Chains A and B, each alone.
Chain A
Amino acid sequence: MELNFTGTDICAVNGTSSAPEAHYELVVVGAGPSGVAAAIDAAKAGKKVLLVDENPVSGALMGNDVPLYFGGRMTAATQNSERMLEAIFMSMPELETAMEAGVELLLGTTAWGVYRNGPGVASLPEQVVGLADSERSWLIGFDHITLATGARDLAMAFPGWNQPGVMGAAALQMLLTRYDAFAGRRILVLGSHDLAVETALLAQARGVEVTGLVEVRGAPQASAELLAKLAETGIPIHCGTAITSAKGGIDGVESATLANGQEIACDTICAAIGLVPSIELVDTMHGARTLNAARGGYVPLGEATVSAVGDCAGLADNGFDHVAYRMEWMQALTNISADDTVICQCEEVTRADLIGVQPPNYLSRPAPMCARSLNTLLQDGPANPDQIKRLTRAGMGVCQGRRCRDQVAMLLALEAGKPFGTIPLASHRAPVRPLPLKIMADWNEPEAMSAAWDVWFGIPTQWVPVEDLGTQYEEDHRQMLYTGMYE
């Protein structure tokens, strides 16, 4: 078959991508105190600023622990998006200040990816952030992006953690303060450093009964000032022990059992062991980051057109080694819980299957498969969470690894006998929040892309059956299945 090439591959993406709908000098993602302050400063300096925040997220998404680990302990009030929106404005008067300063504010709007040209991609018209609300998705171009995405809860697996009523400290604080929508009455707090004590004090102040704190180390970890406040309340700290299980019924948690044998009645177990800076968007734009144990985990390094503020840039450094603390908790929970403890809730992956690099239970496990494990895999090279998630499915579920990503990394480090920071971080991929196909869809696709869309590369010689080569069928194939790429 003679082909006359045009010098242009119309099936390539060159220039056919959707353009951003608008361009801002600054986009700020996250309307917490740091994000709002950054937006106001820029607007006052005369910049065109867009401030977006995903909250209020829908009740359904909160049920999926987006963006925080709510553990199903929201009241029905969170189903009412107008009430939620009002609650946000009530709790954050500075939002009004921002709007008065000229900041364009979009609440209920998720930033699901940030994209720019770099190694492997040169086709983007400019650097863009992908946004979505409950109706649609769109792209916004920017000169500078400020990430004020906060920090998310670090979840920790123990027998019974996969039921309603096990939640994170940041989620509990959000439900108590912003929304007044916490459905629990009697909580047990895991951890005793500042986050845990602050959460316990807040809960008690809001009328929630705090049955105690559980500390894996031999002594409480919070500042003397916070511990003094806690002592005034009489809330006990159970030191040198950890949770062995949570029992529950149809409504979730009913009690917790500690390693020291004590059983504590409670409807909510609040994991306040740590917060992890929310760097998902940094990863989607292949931004630079570094592990900083004193600031809660991996933090953005910052670049000319990217900054991070607030907890996203790292937790306040007060000398506490968050990574060492988490690893102690993980080691203790691993020591006292059975191997069949579920680590990945979405995909129901147990610790035994994770460490055994075994496939999900809908696949067979012939003898050679059963003989494989993390140890055999480590003989091929260092542990890689992405490789292990492909094999075990841990972290591959609808929560996008928010609940288990950090735990998997910690378990791999413990099992491989390596420091936490030597195990690569499992990759974050866009969209950084689960988004329905119909919302993500580009329903106004450029004509040039639609016209040239091919299932694969549009190479007319690639799919002709060998039997048909050199026959009329070869030409028929080209006429029927290809358009425009070649004359």
Chain B
Amino acid sequence: MSGSEVVIVGGGVTGLSAGWWLARSGVKVTVLDKFIVGWEASGRNGGGASHYQSPLFDEEQRMWPQMDELLGYPTEHQKERIIIAMTERQWEQYRFVAERHHRLGHPVEVLDVKQVQEAVPLAGDNCFGGVHYKFGGHANPQRSVQAYAWALQDLGGTIEQHSPVTGFETAGGKVTAVKTATATYGCDAVVVAAGPQIPQLMAQFGIDIPLAPARAEMIITEPAPMMPIGGVDGHKLYGRQTMRGNLAYGGGPHEWIDVDATGPKDRPSTPLMRNLASRLAELLPKAAHLNIIRSWAGVIENSPDGRPIIDRLTSPDNVVVASMSGVGFGLSPASGHAIRDLVIDGACSFADIDILKLSRFDNLESDWREKRGWMPIS
């Protein structure tokens, strides 16, 4: 497909990675984004990169350590994670997870309190222990998203910001062009990676993509002294110590919302910051005196089973749709590769991703959101 043209709808981390992988294969890529690259969930998440539940896990693990060099821009990727148990129940749960990793051949080590504190000096005596994942890691979402965008441009790709897609032109069972308010982009194939706006876009083809948007929140503190391991989860929080030293954490309740074709109207945070603060102060008691300096929210979309949808449609047959169902950043080096394979070869070359096909929802009940309680507060 070298020399062909692919338009990517959505400059989030998934679309940008797909564009980068395609550009590496000689494809002429244009990414259209409604605003600025990585502005939504791709730039607002915890930065984790340890997604053992995914068929893309091995590729995620293989790619991240190479990404700085391959992209040519810093991503702040750091290796490994530790998960710390703060209650007896969590200790039971996290050891269950550790046993599973043993069984699946993922290197982990169960740590006692002293070992936890050696790796995570901000932890206290109030923990039960921890599990050290000697795989996975984390990166800076905002820097990584821009790195993909710049790397894509360096390979000859184009990024059009402030260019929301309004529709498609089709002919002969294929999409032939993607339209914005001001321009039409001819194409040989299309990738729709527009997050919560995917259902509205795909409805233009008469295709129902079951995704429900929700809002989730994070907080960040002023810098703390650098810890040997910065990827610290636990106490039902996720997060990381940034390479600057700040502690960036999220977790807890989400709010289901509706998003129209133009995207989220706003991304307000709430006083949930106080509940994140209490948990973080318990997880890392030696950081309890640190100032919170910002909080924010992001909007993510979820599929009915919480797993990604990565699929190439049968009609029109040159469209790949990709939603990572709320877990897209860490998997991005692998999701982009899979999307590249679907666009160029029609099948993923490195993993069996049938579980991510849209057809698994063929018999989904029409009131699936109501059944799950995934409806906006009325």
Partner of B104, one of A6, A16, A467: A467
| Interface pair B281/A122, CB less than 8 Å apart | no
Q: Which residues of A contact B72 (CB under 8 A)?
A: 366-369
| Interface pair B253/A434, CB less than 8 Å apart | no
| Interface pair B266/A430, CB less than 8 Å apart | no
Beyond contacts A10-B373, A473-B100: 10 other A-B pairs, Cβ-Cβ < 8 A, are A9-B372, A12-B256, A14-B255, A119-B268, A362-B244, A363-B143, A382-B162, A437-B288, A440-B292, A466-B53
Main secondary structure of the interface of A (DSSP, over half): loop
B interface bracket (residues with beta carbon within 8 Å of A): 35 or more
Using CB atoms, name the residue of chain B closest to A363: B74
A-B pairs with the 4 shortest C-beta distances?
A: A462-B306, A434-B291, A459-B306, A441-B278
Chain B residues proximal to chain A, CB less than 8 Å: 36-37, 39, 43, 52-55, 57, 68, 72-74, 76, 92-93, 96-97, 100, 104, 142-143, 146, 149-151, 154, 159, 161-162, 214-215, 221-223, 233, 236-238, 243-244, 251-257, 264-275, 277-281, 287-297, 299, 302, 305-307, 325-327, 355, 370-374, 376-378
Alpha-carbon separation in the docked complex, A387 to B222 (Å) = 20
Alpha-carbon separation in the docked complex, A295 to B49 (Å) = 48
CB proximity of B160 to chain A, nearest CB, Å: 8
| Interface pair B100/A465, CB less than 8 Å apart | yes
Alpha-carbon separation in the docked complex, A373 to B292 (Å) = 31
Q: Indicate whether A455 sits within 8 Å of B289 (C-beta atoms), given known contacts A5-B371, A12-B256.
A: no
Alpha-carbon separation in the docked complex, A137 to B278 (Å) = 11
Binds B, one of A25-33, A210-218, A247-255, A446-454: A446-454
As a 0/1 sequence over residues 136 to 167 of chain A, the CB contacts with chain B under 8 angstroms (1 = contact) are: 01010000000000000000000000000000
| Interface pair A461/B73, CB less than 8 Å apart | no
Number of chain A residues close to chain B: CB under 8 A = 86
Partner of B291, one of A124, A139, A384, A398: A398
Q: Indicate whether A9 sits within 8 Å of B100 (C-beta atoms), given known contacts A367-B72, A442-B278, A457-B326.
A: no
As a 0/1 sequence over residues 218 to 245 of chain A, the CB contacts with chain B under 8 angstroms (1 = contact) are: 0000000000000000000000000000
Partner of B270, one of A11, A123, A440, A449: A123
| Interface pair A469/B281, CB less than 8 Å apart | no
| Interface pair A462/B255, CB less than 8 Å apart | no
Q: Indicate whether A455 sits within 8 Å of B253 (C-beta atoms), given known contacts A390-B143, A436-B290, A467-B104.
A: no
As a 0/1 sequence over residues 287 to 320 of chain A, the CB contacts with chain B under 8 angstroms (1 = contact) are: 0000000000000000000000000000000000
Q: Which residues of B contact A359 (CB under 8 A)?
A: 74, 143
Instruction: Indicate if A391 sits at the interface (CB-CB under 8 A).
Output: yes
Instruction: Indicate if A418 sits at the interface (CB-CB under 8 A).
Output: no
Partner of A391, one of B93, B143, B221, B270: B143
Alpha-carbon separation in the docked complex, A167 to B222 (Å) = 22
Alpha-carbon separation in the docked complex, A362 to B76 (Å) = 10
Instruction: Indicate if A7 sits at the interface (CB-CB under 8 A).
Output: yes
A-B contacts, 12 listed (Cβ < 8 Å): A5-B371, A12-B214, A121-B270, A122-B255, A128-B271, A368-B72, A398-B291, A429-B294, A430-B273, A437-B291, A453-B251, A480-B96
Partner of B73, one of A360, A368, A436, A462: A368
| Interface pair A456/B274, CB less than 8 Å apart | no
Alpha-carbon separation in the docked complex, A454 to B296 (Å) = 18
Partner of B275, one of A9, A120, A442: A442
CB proximity of B98 to chain A, nearest CB, Å: 12
As a 0/1 sequence over residues 345 to 377 of chain A, the CB contacts with chain B under 8 angstroms (1 = contact) are: 001000000000001101111111100100000
| Interface pair B289/A436, CB less than 8 Å apart | yes
Instruction: Indicate if A130 sits at the interface (CB-CB under 8 A).
Output: yes
| Interface pair A430/B295, CB less than 8 Å apart | yes
Alpha-carbon separation in the docked complex, A17 to B271 (Å) = 8
| Interface pair B373/A7, CB less than 8 Å apart | yes
Instruction: Indicate if A118 sits at the interface (CB-CB under 8 A).
Output: yes
| Interface pair B253/A16, CB less than 8 Å apart | yes
| Interface pair B281/A441, CB less than 8 Å apart | yes
Partner of A121, one of B39, B142, B215, B327: B215
Partner of B371, one of A7, A120, A139, A473: A7
Q: Which residues of A contact B293 (CB under 8 A)?
A: 397-398, 400, 431, 434
Q: Indicate whether A481 sits within 8 Å of B271 (C-beta atoms), given known contacts A455-B236, A462-B327, A465-B104.
A: no
CB proximity of B94 to chain A, nearest CB, Å: 10
Instruction: Indicate if A174 sits at the interface (CB-CB under 8 A).
Output: no
Using CB atoms, name the residue of chain A closest to B75: A363
CB proximity of A130 to chain B, nearest CB, Å: 6
Q: Indicate whether A453 sits within 8 Å of B252 (C-beta atoms), given known contacts A9-B374, A393-B244, A441-B277.
A: yes
Q: Which residues of A contact B265 (CB under 8 A)?
A: 119-120
| Interface pair B254/A380, CB less than 8 Å apart | no
| Interface pair A456/B326, CB less than 8 Å apart | yes
| Interface pair B264/A120, CB less than 8 Å apart | yes
Using CB atoms, name the residue of chain A closest to B291: A434
CB proximity of B34 to chain A, nearest CB, Å: 11
Instruction: Indicate if A381 sits at the interface (CB-CB under 8 A).
Output: yes
Using CB atoms, name the residue of chain B closest to A438: B288
Q: Which residues of A contact B290 (CB under 8 A)?
A: 436-437
| Interface pair A9/B373, CB less than 8 Å apart | yes
Q: Which residues of B contact A120 (CB under 8 A)?
A: 215, 257, 264-268, 297, 299
CB proximity of B368 to chain A, nearest CB, Å: 8
Using CB atoms, name the residue of chain A closest to B158: A380
Q: Which of A1-49 contact B (CB under 8 A)?
A: 5-14, 16-18
| Interface pair B36/A381, CB less than 8 Å apart | yes
Q: Which residues of B contact A100 (CB under 8 A)?
A: none
Q: Which residues of A contact B150 (CB under 8 A)?
A: 368, 372
Alpha-carbon separation in the docked complex, A7 to B367 (Å) = 10
| Interface pair A124/B270, CB less than 8 Å apart | yes
Alpha-carbon separation in the docked complex, A253 to B306 (Å) = 58
Q: Indicate whether A363 sits within 8 Å of B243 (C-beta atoms), given known contacts A286-B268, A465-B104.
A: yes
Q: Which residues of A contact B68 (CB under 8 A)?
A: 364, 366
Instruction: Indicate if A115 sits at the interface (CB-CB under 8 A).
Output: yes
Alpha-carbon separation in the docked complex, A445 to B278 (Å) = 9
Instruction: Indicate if A89 sits at the interface (CB-CB under 8 A).
Output: no
Instruction: Indicate if A195 sits at the interface (CB-CB under 8 A).
Output: no
Q: Which residues of B contact A438 (CB under 8 A)?
A: 277, 281, 288-289
As a 0/1 sequence over residues 178 to 216 of chain A, the CB contacts with chain B under 8 angstroms (1 = contact) are: 000000000000000000000000000000000000000
Most buried by A among B151, B289, B305: B305
Using CB atoms, name the residue of chain A closest to B269: A430
Alpha-carbon separation in the docked complex, A84 to B52 (Å) = 56
Most buried by B among A9, A120, A123, A481: A120
